[in-house]
Structure 1
């Protein structure tokens, strides 16, 4: 790929456009269809006596992209379980095949304070707080705070489409209701997947939590095998940042050490523009709010440094291409980076402390699959070793 960034970007967009033209006859769906078939099928399932016996209250809604929080006229009690079955999505550019489905863009708010994203389009959520229930469909990010206020710096718009959702609050828990619903029927596998998610939940690795701004997910999980412990990452058309809190001075001797094995990258184009910004990485967050992320690239040269191309993130995140040799895919590789020196080179005057370590998986733009594993993550300073994973 050419070393001229402007020419490279034009070539990348050209390749995207050609792919989009090639898919016009058979476009990739953003998820199950949100049309009348969804409403008809779900209305029928909700009306089945064997199903309705398990339901305290249910709502069917269609959400436009510019719409804000919508009240569902449901008052929750703490601990109640609700299942959200969703379909459809929003297109940012059909010619470039850029859009996102309901599986990554549906949010709930409980009691006017607690905001939670559904992990997929067949998710069950336990009410952590009682009060009124609201819903909104929106891209990941663009929050002003953790209570669901929209950031006025990022006005909503520029997308089109519909997200449809069926919200069910169960009387005695989700599993019994979903079992009854699965016996009554389904719509494009949504009920079956919801039942499977309740039976086999995916929890974040111990000590880690998802960044609230992007919401919970099922991307990362603990793994134990003959080779020891690792964190597995599987992303496909979604996005998630897993964070581990630390409090470590940033000195000349601070090193980030880890091993990783990347089996599949979620993008085959240069990742330094917004439509192709799908990647896998490990990152360090500092006490000044900045983060430096060491990434695998499919196309950019090792040692390439660039500011994140996404709104909001362009103010806080810097990318460092650490690996891009396709011959290294599928191999365990050991890494050690001098964090303070790297920050000085990539960002500027170093801050005082490291406050988090991140694992990042983005596949929302190209909607491809990314697979990798991380192990032996440590922050080291001389004889001091902080074991993270």
Structure 2
């Protein structure tokens, strides 16, 4: 424990030093919100060719306070395509240069009890599944009480300075057509081009997989083929996402999780066991009791290190096991096999009876780095029984 404490102090000191250097040599914090954002977007949507495609447009400013869901003063119907273009940041710590941008923080729902949806990026479109008055909220990484957008009182949302400016457009004839007209009219910090690319070529979750609803949809994972095998490619930058595959597999002494992975780049170069540096890539098993055990690749922590997740909510359900940390193996395809029940007993406690999901996890939101990896040949094995996940 003393060693972990010393490591934490050293890590925070390094972060503070980096924050000071960035303050002396400031870099752009992404597209700026505010009056300039709204002025440009209002002019673009007012262009005759764009206005002909727009059913409704609304501008709202979102803060990370306790005010909750904000009415956008417009209604949507099932099937409507809505584009959200957003700019700005919330600051968790300016001293440590920790901020969260529009890429991860914009959620929508139709009606006061509609299912929550997150935008895939700072500029992207959604096809609405439900109808009613449209509501938005800015929600940096944290926890929901349910899929209808109730906030968990154990994780208060206030205290973060900053704001995100949002332009919400409901189209008459679909997002792609409307955004083509909008792109012809102009752009703001590349956000219109991003939205058009998202509408034309959306990055969908691989078949059979879905994003964990708590963190929302994203553009992190995509299916690929290579060497005659299916693969999932992961590319994360200033983002967070968990991809899930549902299973129903008994957890016995002989249960094994097998996979191959090639990690090309890690999103953090500091110990990942504290919240400000908890950026990593991993594969995990979720169990019937709600716990998950995640095998991660660390930049600095020793192989075999086990620690509870340092993030609120996740510290109750998630345990990390450092499986790889040898930088010389980056860029190589590696085959892994883990005795899941024995690992669970060592890392968590009394094992449950079943595995219910396999996860792929990518976090790069805290240090805003980039993580790149690929997965292949994921399977659960117990004797002669083999469940092919990928």
TM-score by length of structure 2 reads 0.98
How far does residue 48 in structure 1 lie from its aligned partner after superposition? 1.1
Counterpart Cα distance in 2 of 1:354 and 1:231? 21
Give the C-alpha shift of residue 30 in structure 1.
Answer: 3.9
What's the CA shift string for 1:1-20, capped at 9, x where partnerless?
A: x9810000000000000000
| Higher alpha-carbon deviation: 125-134 or 274-283 | 125-134
CA distance in 2, matches of 1:223, 1:31: 30
Shift in Å, 1:29: 3.9
Find the counterpart in structure 1 of residue 102 from structure 2. 102
Deviations 1:197-249 (A, max 9, x none): 11111111111000000000000010112352210000000000000000111
Corresponding residue of 1:78:
78
SS of the residue corresponding to residue 17 of structure 2 reads: helix
Q: CA–CA distance in 1 between the matches of 2:27 and 2:6?
A: 28
Shift of 1:315: 0.2
1:216 alignment partner, SS class: coil
SS of the residue corresponding to residue 103 of structure 2 reads: helix
- 2:208 aligned counterpart, secondary structure: coil
Distance 2:227 2:2 in 1: 42
SS at match of 2:283: strand
The residue that corresponds to 1:125 in the other structure is: 126
Residues of 2 paired with 1:318 and 1:110: CA distance? 35
User: Is 1:354 the counterpart of 2:355 in the alignment?
Assistant: yes
Q: Which runs of 5+ in 2 are unaligned?
A: none
* Matched residue, 1:262: 263
Deviations 1:319-372 (A, max 9, x none): 000000001000000000000000000000000110000000000000000000
- The 2-side partners of 1:313 and 1:362 are apart by 13
User: 1:22 aligns to what?
Assistant: 21
Within 5 Å, give how 1:116-195 maps onto structure 2: 116-195=117-196
Q: Is the 8 A contact 1:306 1:320 kept in 2?
A: yes
Matched, 1:93 2:112: no
Query: 1 CA distance for matches of 2:29 and 2:354?
Result: 41
- Contact 2:237–2:368 (CA under 8 A) maintained in structure 1: yes
Q: Which residue of 2 aligns with 1:64?
A: 63
Alignment of 1:224 with 2:191, yes or no, is: no
SS at structure 1 position matched to 2:300: coil
The offset of 1:267, in angstroms, is 0.2
Q: 1:152 aligns to what SS in structure 2?
A: coil
Indicate conservation of the 8 Å contact 1:91/1:100, yes or no. Answer: yes
Q: What is the total number of aligned residue pairs between the two structures?
A: 388
In structure 2, the residue matched to 1:47 is 46
Unaligned ranges ≥5, structure 1:
none
Equivalent pair of 1:122/1:193 in contact (CA under 8 Å) = yes
> SS of the residue aligned with 1:344?
helix
Distance 1:58 1:48 in 2: 13
8 Å contact 1:30–1:100 — kept in the other structure?
no
Q: Distance in 2 between matches of 1:180 and 1:206?
A: 32
Which residue does 2:34 correspond to in 1?
35
Is the contact made by 1:31 and 1:102 (CA closer than 8 Å) also made in structure 2?
no
Assess if the C-alpha contact under 8 Å between 1:140 and 1:213 holds in 2: no
TM-score (ref. length: structure 1): 0.98
